Structure 1
Amino acid sequence: MSHGCASQGIPIVTGYDTLSATDIQHSLSQTHAEVIYLDPHLLGTASIALENSQVKTVIINTGSIFSGGYDIDQFRNEHPQFNVITYEELIQLGRHNLKEPIPVKSSDLFCIMYTSGSTGLPNGCCITHENFLAGITGLLGGIDDFVSDQERVLAYLPLAHIFEMALENLVMYIGGTLGYGNPKTLTDASLRECNGDMVEFKPTIMVGVPQIWETIRKAVLSKLNCSGFVAKTVFWTAMSFKSFAVRYSLPGKGVFDDLVFGRVRQMTGGRLRYILNGSSGIADSTKEFLSLIVAEMLTGYGLTETCANGALSSPFEQTTSAIGSTSPAIDVKLVSIPELGYFTDADAGPCQGEILVRGPAVFKGYFNNPQGTEKAFAPGGWFKTGDIGEFDDRGHLKIIDRIKSLVKMQGGEYIALEKLESIYRTSQAILQVMVHADFEYTRPIVIIMPNTKFLQDKSRELGFSDDDSTLSSERMSAYVLDDLQDIARRSGLSKIETVTGVVITDIEWTPQSGLVTPTMKLNRRFILNYFRDEVEKCMQSIG
């Protein structure tokens, strides 16, 4: 559908399938869209948003694997004002009304891609044909040396995400094979009498977000903890040997891959060569763990506004602290932020500052939002990412945090929330975590989505009473807090970075609940509002 529209010079507008009717209505009314293409199970949500829109034609993807939703004939009867056709009917219309491709200019609009909206209504990023092609070319320049047309890439992120759209076009360009999966069916664990997507498709490359990788790591550790003493000893000995061999580039680093780590690798299909983390930061310990037992983990950094371009690590130039080289499709510079203590003056310490980007892959501005566009750009066409970065001595870019995620504490020091979350997320006791800090207090707290099964097993192991075994009990909160504080000590966190309170929530953090965005980023404002009473009680208890 995207390529067909591009061939006729028709701009597309993307939207996540987890958006509320209000968000969909916002994008429809702002862009004056006249056609909408969607799966049948989304007709219920869309029907509300369509009421005050300029949409005239509704194209329904009847080949969707997702069930449920409106009956198409019922939708037609209830909404006679729309021209409702199926995708198959659209194909037939095209066969009987063939059109030659319409040449487009590089400056023509290709897509209005809406951000996932973690801080309010989403912004529509105007991406031209030049932007998108430059973005794909920039990504290709970062991976061309280690991929081929033999790659099998498992795709499961929404196409409304810039990286997924760029990735799929990139795989088509190199001649690789795409396999479409679902986050809920990636592994065998969530299925009965059926292989998971990874086992069935056997990808060679897989892209994911920190939550996916932490889930895999915790699943491996959970199975390992159920093993006997000998199995545990063999596993950790093999891990230590391989870690040492990799660190010092010694031969024989793969000697235990099949013998010790083979079963783990079969869980992911057995053919993975590289896994790529994107979206947000991941703990160094998780990155090393998965690189040693599953496949080498590469990390990437990019934004919707830069067509997924920023920095990308290479298997030939891996570093433990930085991401990697910047994309050839953009220029990157750092600008000092004196009020936050970040300076680009090399004599004053590490070269740190806000990351600014310009180049052909950088978008043209926010749709119908001149004030937002003006605020987003510095003189000279430099886009202000809002991220704080650092260049190491090899010219590799490291992401420290987001400016909006830096919080000034009572003593005047700043803490980086996303950095802390990537560390605390490694706890076996939790599935999701948000660090919350306030300038009126000296230390932060955490709000968590618990790993219920792990905590139930742990409470039995520790001999908790029935009352203490509940997630809301003081003893359970104390156990989780002790675990997080132990992680803080082992990770070398300072006193003001060590949490002093915990709020255990009883709801799943999903895009449907509104606690995370469609790309699984924390919806901080919504989380704080949702658990306001619990957060205030926790903050008051720590003084």
Structure 2
Amino acid sequence: MATEQMYSVVVPNSPAIPGEGKPRRSVLCPEKLLENYPSIKAGVTITTLYENFLEGVQRAEGGEFLGHRPIVDDVPQAYQWQTYAEVKERITHFGAGLSHLGLAPNNNFGIFAINRPEWTMSELSGYMYNYTTVPLYDTLGVSAIEYIVNQTEMEIVIASADKASIILNMKSTLPTVKTVVVMGDVDQTLLDEAKELNVHVVSWADVERSGREKPVQAVHPTAEDVATICYTSGTTGTPKGAILTHKNFISTIASFHTMAKHGKFFIPSPADTHVSYLPLAHVFERLCQAVMISGAARVGYYQGDTLKLLDDVAVLQPTIFASVPRLFNRIYDKVLAGVKAKGGVAAFLFNRAYNTKKANLRRGIIHHALWDRLVFGAIRARLGGKVRHIVSGSAPISPDVMDFLRICFSADVYEGYGQTEQAAGLSMSYRGDLTPGQVGPPQLCTEVKLRDIPSMNYTSEDKPFPRGEIMLRGNSVFKGYYKAPQQTAETLDAEGWSGTGDVGQWDAQGRLVVIDRVKNIFKLAQGEYIAPEKIEAVLAKHFLVAQVFVYGHSLQAMLVGVVVPDSETLLVWAKDNGLGGKTYEELCAHPQVRTTLQKELTVFGKESDLKGFEILKNIYVTPEQFTIDNDLLTPTFKLKRHAAKEKYSVEIERMYAEIN
């Protein structure tokens, strides 16, 4: 009888410690954790993000790097590209220009803009001259920007014009800010305002020009130098600045390169294109870009509006698509709702093709000569038609959606798991492993163990699989929180183990399965533990649901929920059920819609194997989406549970009163 392939192994000679399981490492590197990776140039080792960029320049051989769509009279144009060599020249000049503005090695500087070429070039200049980047993002709120700028004693902020205005409006609370470098054109109004506030405003192009006219010898970083201070958005409290070194990022990139050598991942090439739209202020997108750079891939930016993302994707035709479950769930919902609406022969063909390919997945096959062309071509076109690799990160993704992506896009689909505190490098599922619901073994730069959570009955002795809080140690683990020793001590112990706050388990083949967040699990009155994110992931797959927030009070025995219906499918449903002609808002307030949704979600939840206590006993229907702008989502699209609870507190009380 053949033994199952193991993906991780217990670390040799690790001691048995009461209350926790033994640490495990990837089977690809059981002896030594990776720190760096070899260049294609013989005898050269890549140890910093600047060297990683030089590797990209070398591999590109003059090829294209950064692309954007100029907007002319509100109309997006074709992508314009800069080559790796051109960008290298520009960051050399821009970094020197920052030096003329008073920035010295190891000094902090801010970047405040949505994704665009100048964001990446500013960051690369920091890597070249050993400056420390501190990303800002206004979705955290004004108080958080004030906190970050003042804690890091930021003197220079590189910003787009709209964000520069925010900084100037806040100047009275930002005493350290002296200079704002503006990406793009600088209008006179901004200059006049800055002059009154005694702030030096200069264009990005002028800083670049000053560095070209007066070069400065760059002081390159070492592996242990700080690359960035990346503030976590969190769901409550003040943000925490994770101190991440060059080694933290490079060790994870090294893991991908070694995985690729074993056929377990991919390394991009100049023939690949990545679409950059996830916030660069967060480590997931920054790690993605660093991996793209290591293989000399092209990076094309969206035009800045997520509602127009698929238009940009259709033009760019990326081969690599990294995103978050929220977007993949929307694609899944739209496709299945479209199939159901068509019915007849079209639905029959889709279902037959889908079921055939799903059966093939169990044999490791993602392509089908007939169905890929006949049925799934139109779906693949939604992401430009050329996607070969899909990476999902930031939050757990449903196994059904993972299967859907593999079936409809005939692409290798990977699920990554990590946090800001590990430069997004904790684990990654392996190429060819089509088992849904797991996030693979540890990255080759880390080791992972599970620590018991007795209060929740999770232990490393659990059968059949050990469970507990996911802990890790290794080369991707951060140095601590900036100027926050107490918070650092709460997360990092004396031996370098970092707590994640996530509950995980090892499966039979040594892969990690993330169960939920420790702090997001709550207990109902009868003692049942509830994992709301799991329930939300199930219910969000219903064709009538766009978003859902599950809530349970510890003094109550039942769950309630806030549901945002899908506007398109709700309007179609209304037409078929005697409510045609009503607006989306009117439908959300209609008792028949609430009653129908309640019944539908009850049946759907039971069909999806939710337990009785996981079924919503009452719901509130609202047309208002959970968004970053209304402070119900973090910038990485995670639900802010505390904010949602506060916003819907009256409705929650009423729902419980109606049940009781």
Taking structure 2 as the reference length, what is the TM-score of the superposition?
0.77
Instruction: Provide the residue aligned with 2:144 in structure 1.
Output: 23
Cα distance, 1:14 vs structure 2 = 1.0
Q: Is the 8 A contact 1:242 1:254 kept in 2?
A: no
Structure 1 residues 380-389 or 97-106, which shifts more?
97-106
The 1:250/1:309 distance shift into structure 2, 3 A limit, reads closer
Q: Is the 8 A contact 1:277 1:300 kept in 2?
A: yes
Instruction: Provide the residue aligned with 1:11 in structure 2.
Output: 132
Instruction: Tell me the amino acid that sits aligned with residue 390 of structure 1.
Output: Q
Aligned residues: 527
The 1:408/1:168 distance shift into structure 2, 3 A limit, reads same
Instruction: Provide the residue aligned with 1:171 in structure 2.
Output: 292
Instruction: Provide the residue aligned with 1:235 in structure 2.
Output: 350
Per-residue CA deviations over 1:133-168 (Å, capped at 9, x if unaligned) read: 223323444455333412211111111110111111
Instruction: Tell me the amino acid that sits aligned with residue 280 of structure 1.
Output: A
- Runs (5+) with no aligned partner, structure 2: 1-121
Residue aligned with 1:434, SS: strand
Q: Using the alignment, how far apart are the partners of 1:296 and 1:9 within structure 2?
A: 36
Q: Is the 8 A contact 2:257 2:267 kept in 1?
A: no
Per-residue CA deviations over 1:77-104 (Å, capped at 9, x if unaligned) read: 1122111000100111111221112133
- Structure 1 residue 76 corresponds to structure 2 residue 197: no
Counterpart pick for 2:612 among 495, 510, 523: 495
- Structure 1 residue 107 corresponds to structure 2 residue 227: no
Residue aligned with 2:218, SS: coil
Q: Is the 8 A contact 2:450 2:504 kept in 1?
A: yes
Cα distance, 1:433 vs structure 2 = 1.6
Residue aligned with 1:213, SS: helix
Structure 1 residues 243-252 or 38-47, which shifts more?
243-252
Q: Using the alignment, how far apart are the partners of 1:349 and 1:48 within structure 2?
A: 58
Q: Using the alignment, how far apart are the partners of 1:305 and 1:250 within structure 2?
A: 35
Instruction: Provide the residue aligned with 1:33 in structure 2.
Output: 154
Q: Using the alignment, how far apart are the partners of 1:450 and 1:399 within structure 2?
A: 28
Q: Is the 8 A contact 2:471 2:500 kept in 1?
A: yes
- Structure 1 residue 88 corresponds to structure 2 residue 208: no
Counterpart pick for 2:308 among 185, 189, 207: 185
Residue aligned with 1:221, SS: helix
Instruction: Provide the residue aligned with 1:190 in structure 2.
Output: none
Cα distance, 1:124 vs structure 2 = 0.7
- Runs (5+) with no aligned partner, structure 1: 64-70, 188-195
Instruction: Tell me the amino acid that sits aligned with residue 153 of structure 1.
Output: H
Per-residue CA deviations over 1:426-474 (Å, capped at 9, x if unaligned) read: 1222222221111111121122222123212212212248789621222
Counterpart pick for 2:639 among 514, 522, 543: 522
Instruction: Provide the residue aligned with 2:465 in structure 1.
Output: 350
Instruction: Provide the residue aligned with 2:423 in structure 1.
Output: 307
Alignment map for 1:132-531 (pairs within 5 Å): 132-143=249-260, 145=263, 146-149=266-269, 150-181=271-302, 182=304, 183-187=306-310, 196-249=311-364, 253-294=368-409, 295-345=411-461, 348-464=463-579, 470-531=587-648
Instruction: Tell me the amino acid that sits aligned with residue 257 of structure 1.
Output: D
Instruction: Provide the residue aligned with 1:118 in structure 2.
Output: 235
Q: Using the alignment, how far apart are the partners of 2:328 and 2:578 within structure 1?
A: 31
Q: Is the 8 A contact 1:301 1:309 kept in 2?
A: yes
Instruction: Tell me the amino acid that sits aligned with residue 147 of structure 1.
Output: I
Q: Is the 8 A contact 2:357 2:366 kept in 1?
A: no
Q: Is the 8 A contact 1:142 1:312 kept in 2?
A: no
Q: Using the alignment, how far apart are the partners of 1:429 and 1:134 within structure 2?
A: 43
Q: Using the alignment, how far apart are the partners of 1:73 and 1:467 within structure 2?
A: 48
The 1:516/1:97 distance shift into structure 2, 3 A limit, reads same
The 1:106/1:251 distance shift into structure 2, 3 A limit, reads closer
Residue aligned with 2:373, SS: coil
Higher relative contact order (CA 8 A, sep 6+): 2
Q: Using the alignment, how far apart are the partners of 2:241 and 2:215 within structure 1?
A: 32
Q: Using the alignment, how far apart are the partners of 1:489 and 1:74 within structure 2?
A: 60
Cα distance, 1:252 vs structure 2 = 7.1
Q: Using the alignment, how far apart are the partners of 1:171 and 1:120 within structure 2?
A: 34
Cα distance, 1:381 vs structure 2 = 1.0
Q: Using the alignment, how far apart are the partners of 1:156 and 1:77 within structure 2?
A: 33
Q: Is the 8 A contact 2:366 2:406 kept in 1?
A: no
CA RMSD of superposed structures (Å)? 1.9
Q: Using the alignment, how far apart are the partners of 1:393 and 1:214 within structure 2?
A: 28
Residue aligned with 1:175, SS: coil
Q: Using the alignment, how far apart are the partners of 1:507 and 1:280 within structure 2?
A: 22
Q: Using the alignment, how far apart are the partners of 2:394 and 2:268 within structure 1?
A: 24
Q: Using the alignment, how far apart are the partners of 1:39 and 1:465 within structure 2?
A: 45
Q: Is the 8 A contact 2:543 2:566 kept in 1?
A: yes
Instruction: Tell me the amino acid that sits aligned with residue 52 of structure 1.
Output: T
Q: Using the alignment, how far apart are the partners of 2:621 and 2:599 within structure 1?
A: 14
The 1:93/1:250 distance shift into structure 2, 3 A limit, reads closer
Counterpart pick for 1:57 among 176, 179, 184: 179
Instruction: Provide the residue aligned with 1:192 in structure 2.
Output: none
Residue aligned with 2:205, SS: helix
Per-residue CA deviations over 1:400-439 (Å, capped at 9, x if unaligned) read: 0000111111111101111111111112222222211111
Taking structure 1 as the reference length, what is the TM-score of the superposition?
0.93
Q: Using the alignment, how far apart are the partners of 1:184 and 1:407 within structure 2?
A: 34
Q: Is the 8 A contact 2:417 2:427 kept in 1?
A: yes
Q: Using the alignment, how far apart are the partners of 2:255 and 2:659 within structure 1?
A: 48
Q: Using the alignment, how far apart are the partners of 1:423 and 1:374 within structure 2?
A: 36
Cα distance, 1:107 vs structure 2 = 2.6
Structure 1 residues 336-345 or 26-35, which shifts more?
336-345
The 1:113/1:302 distance shift into structure 2, 3 A limit, reads same
